[in-house]
Amino acid sequence: MPNARSRRSRLGVAAAVLALSAVGAVAPAATASATPGAVAAPAAVEGPLLSYVVNTKANSSSTREAAEWVEAFGGTVVETYRKIGVVVARSTDPGFAANLRSLGPKVVDSVGATRTTAVVQSEDETTLIDTPVATGAQSAADPLEAQQWDLPLIKADQAQVLEDGSRKVLVGILDSGVEDTHPDLAPNVDAASSAGCITGKADTTRASWLPTTSDHGTHVAGTVAAARNGIGMVGVAPGVRIASVKVVSDEGFIYPESAICGFMWAAEHKMDVTNNSYYIDPWLFWCANDPDQAAAAEAVRRAVAYSHKQDVLNVAAAGNQNYDLANKTTDTTSPNDSGPVTRPVSDDCLHLPAEAGGVVSVASVTQAKAKSSFSNYGLGHIDVAAPGSSVLSTVLNGRYGLKSGTSMASPHVAGVAALYKSAHPRAGQAEVLAALRAQADPLACPTTGAAAAQCTGTTAYNSLFGYGLVDALDAVS
């Protein structure tokens, strides 16, 4: 189990990035009536390189104009997402955001820096499984399947008798990369649909979406779709395809521009489901009263909403802070890429992407169907629950290991959504979401222990488990 500092939705990937904090005086801004070409980049104090999102009107010329102003103010355009009105940019000018904001709403809606500075995070915690793995012909059961308590708990073993998953269904693994040579993943990785999104701009080279420092994405991928091939273990939906969409940097951070790129890539490449076992750095909660945080959160919201319009169902981990998301009061862990400070938070502060509209928020349970001690909760903030404590799956170098976290619960739900889509190919994302909720097996509030005091609501819907334990058999029946 990770320590308190590393209890993040992705179980604390190792992290260390370039120092990126804004300091210095704000340079003079252009007037809104000026044109970008007529304004020379103001001489400014050189600061560290920061990444920004610039929000404009969607599907309009203002996105192009904002990009031109970015360059006029000495910045660099990384990518322009015209369909959602978002420009990803970089600048070393401490006054860059203020200059753009001064242009007013005719050009920009909001501007925000997406990061502060770097700190070293803890490594992923993985317990390797050394059980011999068969390499022969396909058999009725894969060698490690007997150790997968999680599949029977959600009736995936029964569901797979009826539906193993369609090759037409594609699940995006928005994570730290997927090892495409792993014998249990190689049959299902769709390289043509994979991309690296670290900078905020999609990169389709194979190196950009392979894992380097973290096995987290590979573990998640195995839970979704490890192949039924007589080798190792079996995923929830072993017949579907998966795409590696790398949004976690080698230093362990998922910044807004990376997540935005991931959601947009999934939408443009007609993915049916995405799994998001992370929260967006560097803020545990993105608050509306801070201009940087508000702008970044809005850009993420737009990308998620656009993916929904393209019928992508996004599934996300609820988080590992054992925090009541329905009663936010204090955050002591942010920003996690520099020096965390204690700050007040409220309902206007969002845990992203899990609290973005329409995203399936997943809590974690143990083998005994009890709340995992680390799992976040909150009435109205959890959709369903799934196994997340000591889950066996694929890890790097063709091996297998145990991990714990809502990061491990979320891909079970993504896998069930993929099975539902396989059995109901015409279903849109709204129907799949409704089915996940309606078909979940209700879990009652506990009557003893620490979780009893955390549970509010009814057996049908409560703060710990939402609508209940996800049900794979109902998804395909």
- The candidate with the shortest Cα–Cα distance to 124, out of 209, 214, 250, is 214
Q: Respond yes or no on whether the N-terminal peptide bond of residue 187 is cis (omega within 30° of 0).
A: no
Encode pLDDT of 169-186 as tens digits: 999 999 999 999 999 999
CATH number attached to the domain at 21-113: 3.30.70
The answer to whether residue 26 scores a pLDDT higher than 60 is no
The answer to whether residue 434 scores a pLDDT higher than 80 is yes
Q: Which of 32-46, 126-140, 184-198, 263-277 has the lowest mean pLDDT?
A: 126-140
| Widest pairwise Cα distance in the chain | 71
Q: How far apart are CA 79 and CA 94, in angstroms?
A: 21
Q: Respond yes or no on whether the N-terminal peptide bond of residue 291 is cis (omega within 30° of 0).
A: no
Measured from the Cβ of residue 47, the count of other Cβ atoms closer than 10 Å reads: 17
The answer to whether residue 63 scores a pLDDT higher than 60 is yes
pLDDT number for residue 11: 38
Average pLDDT over the chain reads 89
R_g of the chain computed on alpha carbons: 22
Q: How far apart are CA 39 and CA 42, in angstroms?
A: 8
Q: Where are the domains of the chain?
A: 21-113, 127-476
Measured from the Cβ of residue 227, the count of other Cβ atoms closer than 10 Å reads: 25
Structural tokens at position 228: 């039924």
Per-residue pLDDT averaged across 17-22, rounded? 28
pLDDT number for residue 225: 98
pLDDT number for residue 49: 87
Encode pLDDT of 214-228 as tens digits: 999 999 999 999 999
More confident site: 26 or 236: 236
> Looking at the whole model, is its pTM more than 0.85?
yes
Q: Which of 76-85, 133-142, 373-382, 437-446 has the lowest mean pLDDT?
A: 133-142
The answer to whether residue 121 scores a pLDDT higher than 60 is no
Per-residue pLDDT averaged across 454-471, rounded? 98
The answer to whether residue 199 scores a pLDDT higher than 90 is yes
pLDDT range class, residue 140, cuts 50, 70, 90: low
pLDDT number for residue 9: 42
Per-residue pLDDT averaged across 430-441, rounded? 98
The answer to whether residue 430 scores a pLDDT higher than 50 is yes
Per-residue pLDDT averaged across 241-250, rounded? 97
The answer to whether residue 376 scores a pLDDT higher than 50 is yes
In CATH, 127-476 is 3.40.50.200: yes
Beta strands in 56-206 (DSSP E): 76-81, 86-91, 110-113, 127-129, 170-175, 195-196
Q: What is the three-state SS of 266-309?
A: HHHCCCCEEEECCCCCCCCCEECCCHHHHHHHHHHHHHHHHHHH
